[in-house]
Amino acid sequence: MQPTRIQSLFEGLKRGPAPAQGRLGPPNDRESASISPRMLDKSAPLCGRVQKRAALIAYITAGDPSPERTPEIVAALERGGVDLIELGVPFSDPIADGPVIQRGADRALRAGTNVPKVLEMAREIREHSQIPLLLFTYMNPVLRYGLEKLAADAKAAGIDGCLLTDLSVEEAGGYMGAMRSAGLDTVFLAAPTSTDARLKLAAQYSTGFVYLVSRTGVTGERTALSDALEPLIARTRAVTDLPLAAGFGISTPQQAGVVAKMADGVVVGSAIVRMIEKNASSFEKCEAELEAFARALRDGMAAE
């Protein structure tokens, strides 16, 4: 089976630069304003692949502040150096999320966002970009849409994998079968409270990477990193060779730099969603700030 974009990203980070796989041919004016400079340079690495660098992963709530703006938000983040987008499906009861992402979900729902519209956004993103896309959602929207239907439609829309925050790994057999049959990655969460047996199972069922929750509790910006992250990384590395990405509570370039020295991927979410919230009425300012923030995160991750 052909590797997914997520798998290719992490493999490229491990092996060093590889040729870009962007859209062939010169872009038109609209495209040149929205796609990453890496896609204009055919000698540049796909998704910013550079040897011995952790991947920068950005979470956004699809449809926040509107479905029309989401593809442009992705483009701004990619221009700033983001390697992978977690495309969050808004849900009315987001139990894993703190107040910032809860408000983002509420704005997206009020804008009419649902699973079909999220897939439409993915298709639009794919018209201009090959950045890996991970669908980030809860079980309820998936069950309502239909598991096998979602797997097939997500693949057709250009989604590369899925993470269900509230799906127990012990009950994931049917979900995994549907996703794997469609050629999608399955990413599972592991937390500081996970037992060794649960860590091993989450790693066994994951493809692409394992998502490490750096602290107990919900998503949100924190002033300091959790002391529980480094031991969690060590425990997980003992049971898998898969890349490890860490998230929850990472919100500054300095924090991203610390995590990048331990993990294979750094996930930033609430800080980005807060920036979108702050600039919801001014898209040009929002786009510029998101691009600058992504670049600052990348710089922080590269600092010695």
- Span 170-179, pLDDT tens digits: 999 999 999 9
175, 187 Cβ separation under 8 angstroms: no
Band of residue 93 on the pLDDT scale cut at 50, 70, 90: confident
Instruction: State residue 86 phi and psi, 5-degree precision.
Output: -90, 115
285, 279 Cβ separation under 8 angstroms: yes
pLDDT the model gives residue 60: 97
What does the domain layout of the chain look like in residue ranges?
54-302
List the one residue out of 38, 34, 79, 77 whose CA is nearest residue 57. 77
Across residues 265-277, what is the average pLDDT?
96
Contacts of 174 (CB under 8 A, 6+ apart): 147
List the one residue out of 213, 211, 5, 252 whose CA is nearest residue 125. 5
pLDDT digits (tens, 9 = 90+) for 3-16: 999 999 999 998 76
pLDDT higher for 32 or 293? 293
pLDDT digits (tens, 9 = 90+) for 30-41: 444 444 443 333
- Strand pairing partners for 161? 134, 185
pLDDT digits (tens, 9 = 90+) for 120-150: 999 999 999 999 999 999 999 999 999 999 9
Asked whether the predicted pLDDT for residue 51 surpasses 80, the reply is: no
Asked whether the predicted pLDDT for residue 47 surpasses 90, the reply is: no
Start-to-end CA distance of the chain, whole Å, equals 38
- Helices 253-260 and 283-302 cross at an angle (nearest 10°) of 40
pLDDT digits (tens, 9 = 90+) for 202-226: 999 999 999 999 855 545 445 568 7
How much of the chain, in percent, has pLDDT values that exceed 90?
A: 76
Q: Which two tokens stand for residue 4?
A: 């997914």
Q: Which two tokens stand for residue 259?
A: 């995590």
Give dist(CA 84, CA 77) in Å, integer: 9
Q: Which two tokens stand for residue 175?
A: 């979900």
Q: Which two tokens stand for residue 232?
A: 């969690």
pLDDT the model gives residue 1: 74
pLDDT the model gives residue 28: 46
Band of residue 155 on the pLDDT scale cut at 50, 70, 90: very high
pLDDT the model gives residue 219: 55
Asked whether the predicted pLDDT for residue 23 surpasses 60, the reply is: no
Mean pLDDT of the chain: 87
Instruction: State residue 45 phi and psi, 5-degree precision.
Output: -75, 145
pLDDT higher for 21 or 272? 272
List the one residue out of 126, 174, 173 whose CA is nearest residue 154. 126
Give whole-number Cα distances, 204 to 157, 159, 200, 207, 267, in Å: 27, 22, 6, 8, 21
Return the sign of the alpha-carbon dihedral for residues 95, 101, 103, 104: negative
Tell me which residues are annotated as active site: 86, 97
List the one residue out of 234, 181, 235 whose CA is nearest residue 207. 181
pLDDT the model gives residue 107: 96
pLDDT the model gives residue 290: 98
Across residues 282-288, what is the average pLDDT?
93
pLDDT the model gives residue 27: 45
What does the DSSP 8-state code read for residue 239? Answer: T
Asked whether the predicted pLDDT for residue 95 surpasses 80, the reply is: no
CATH topology for 54-302?
TIM Barrel (3.20.20)
